[in-house]
Amino acid sequence: MGSIQASKTNQRSVFESAPYIPPDLIFEVTKNYLADSDPKKVNVGAGTYRDENGQPWVLPSVRMAKSLIADCGHEYLPIAGLKSFRTGVTELVFHDTTALRNDCIASCQSLSGTGALHLAALALKKANASNGEVYITDPTWSNHELLFESLNFVVHKMPYYKNSAFDFDGYMESLKAAIPGSAIVLHTCAHNPTGCDPSQAQWKEIASVVQERQLFPIFDSAYLGFNSGSVDADAWALKYFIEECNIEAAVALSFAKSMGLYGERTGMVAFVTRSPEMAVNLNSILENVQRATVSSPVAYGSHIVSTVLNNPDIKDQWAKDLVTMSSRIQAMRQKLYDELVRLQTPGDWSPIIRQSGMFGYTGISPAQIKHMQDKYHIYMADTSRISIAGLNDKNVEYFAMAIDSTVRNIQ
């Protein structure tokens, strides 16, 4: 018996050189926050909306939709997703575009925004429309680099942030040198993690270089409606590219933030093409890459989104819900800033009220981030990004006091 066990343990394993890959730190922040029993703890880490009591918020519009759905069965969805979801979402985002009127848009339901980016990248390759290179911003959402590298793209980083603002000059310099035929990931609004978006004038210059260099834009549009309260206002940049400049593009959409459907993994990828025939081909390619990766998408979330978008009363309520979320975040930005000014905290905190969307960039050092966690039980991303949605009337003064004391005492 003993010798059998000994010989079993002596056998070589195929995993001997398997590396340990550290998890994405943003999920570690949530894990550490949940494990902390201090009643004062604050989570400004992961980008998930919280209400004025610091709790997850089920949108009233989503509650209404769920009560109408009752039971959506357990059958497979079609490979490209629920038809009423795809048409509802396409209409929501592209309702005023020539591309939609001319049937030039291909679409496929995806596993939220990450799945949409994944399908976009795979479809670009299958369509022979990619040179295998992609440009992303530095910094950017932590998953961009991982996702494109895992699909064997060569990832190039473009400077994005300098002196607490969008580094337009650095960005343009690198854009003008981009390899023709490459893809470029553009954050349609609410740049993650900096909260700094190009102005409309800057977007126009970006579009003209994208055209000149023959780059293919992939619009990461995870925050449409959530940023300003209006889907149309938040989609301005992508509409400018496709409508005013007639640029082909992919659009990666998610209903995690805008409908609070984080766990339902509900998103869509759309390709804006030049002809109905190309859209038909792109639809076939999207179905093909969807089948190869997840076979068919998730049903429940798409029924919720479809019910919200296709029922006028529920859609009106959703419009109000978007305003509730975006204005609460805006109010918290202002409160945090006012409190830091009142405390005369060393440093310029005005970027907090100039940035937009869910995130703020504080610029505090790694030692200061650690101190905030160890002493004040405040959890934030290692980049110093804070999710403003984690603040509320009950904790914003505590948070400001902690920042004030930390920047005065820790380098």
Catalytic residue set: 141, 220, 257
Tokens of 248: 């082909």
Nearest distance in Å: CB 117, ligand LMR: 12
Q: Based on CB atoms, which residue is closest to ligand LMR, 47 or 139?
A: 47
Based on the shown chain and the rule CB under 6 A, indicate whether residue 168 belongs to the binding site for ligand LMR. Answer: no
Q: Are 220 and 185 in contact (CB under 8 A)?
A: yes
Based on the shown chain and the rule CB under 6 A, indicate whether residue 26 belongs to the binding site for ligand LMR. Answer: yes
Q: Based on CB atoms, which residue is closest to ligand LMR, 45 or 351?
A: 45
Based on the shown chain and the rule CB under 6 A, indicate whether residue 216 belongs to the binding site for ligand LMR. Answer: no
**Rounded to an integer, what distance in angstroms lies between the CA atom of residue 385 and that of residue 365?**
11
Tokens of 345: 């905290």
Number of Cβ within 10 Å of residue 387's Cβ equals 26
Nearest distance in Å: CB 110, ligand LMR: 14
Based on the shown chain and the rule CB under 6 A, indicate whether residue 226 belongs to the binding site for ligand LMR. Answer: no
Nearest distance in Å: CB 353, ligand LMR: 21
Nearest distance in Å: CB 47, ligand LMR: 3
Based on the shown chain and the rule CB under 6 A, indicate whether residue 282 belongs to the binding site for ligand LMR. Answer: no
Q: What's the Cα-to-Cα distance from 147 to each of 5, 113, 115, 150, 223, rounded to whole Å?
A: 41, 12, 10, 5, 19
Based on the shown chain and the rule CB under 6 A, indicate whether residue 141 belongs to the binding site for ligand LMR. Answer: yes
Q: What's the half-sphere exposure (Cβ side, CA atoms, 13 Å) at 136?
A: 19
Exactly one of 47, 195, 225, 301 binds ligand LMR (CB under 6 A); that residue is 47
Based on the shown chain and the rule CB under 6 A, indicate whether residue 380 belongs to the binding site for ligand LMR. Answer: no
Based on the shown chain and the rule CB under 6 A, indicate whether residue 396 belongs to the binding site for ligand LMR. Answer: no
**Rounded to an integer, what distance in angstroms lies between the CA atom of residue 56 and that of residue 44?**
13
Q: Based on CB atoms, which residue is closest to ligand LMR, 26 or 329?
A: 26
Q: What's the Cα-to-Cα distance from 177 to each of 159, 170, 174, 387, rounded to whole Å?
A: 13, 11, 5, 33
Provide the sign of the torsion angle of the four alpha carbons 268, 272, 276, 279, taken in this order: negative
| DSSP letter assigned to residue 243 | I
Nearest distance in Å: CB 48, ligand LMR: 7
Size of the site for ligand LMR (CB under 6 A): 5
Exactly one of 90, 192, 221, 307 binds ligand LMR (CB under 6 A); that residue is 192
Structural element, H or E, at residue 397: helix 396-409
Q: Based on CB atoms, which residue is closest to ligand LMR, 47 or 217?
A: 47
Residues 336-355 that bind ligand LMR (CB under 6 A): none
Exactly one of 42, 44, 46, 92 binds ligand LMR (CB under 6 A); that residue is 46
The b/e string for 236-271 (b: 16+ C-beta within 10 A; e otherwise) is: bbbbbbbeeeebbbbbbbbbbbbbbbbebbbbbbbb
Q: Based on CB atoms, which residue is closest to ligand LMR, 188 or 345?
A: 188
Q: Based on CB atoms, which residue is closest to ligand LMR, 192 or 194?
A: 192
Nearest distance in Å: CB 401, ligand LMR: 25
Residue nearest to ligand LMR (CB): 47
Q: Based on CB atoms, which residue is closest to ligand LMR, 26 or 299?
A: 26
Q: Are 351 and 165 in contact (CB under 8 A)?
A: yes
- Amino acid identity of residue 186, one-letter, is L
Quick one: CA torsion of 107, 110, 115, 120, rounded to 10 degrees?
Answer: -10
Based on the shown chain and the rule CB under 6 A, indicate whether residue 190 belongs to the binding site for ligand LMR. Answer: no
Nearest distance in Å: CB 256, ligand LMR: 7
Based on the shown chain and the rule CB under 6 A, indicate whether residue 49 belongs to the binding site for ligand LMR. Answer: no
**Rounded to an integer, what distance in angstroms lies between the CA atom of residue 284 and that of residue 295?**
14
What does the longest C-alpha to C-alpha distance in the chain come to?
77
Which residues lie near ligand LMR (CB under 6 A)?
26, 46-47, 141, 192
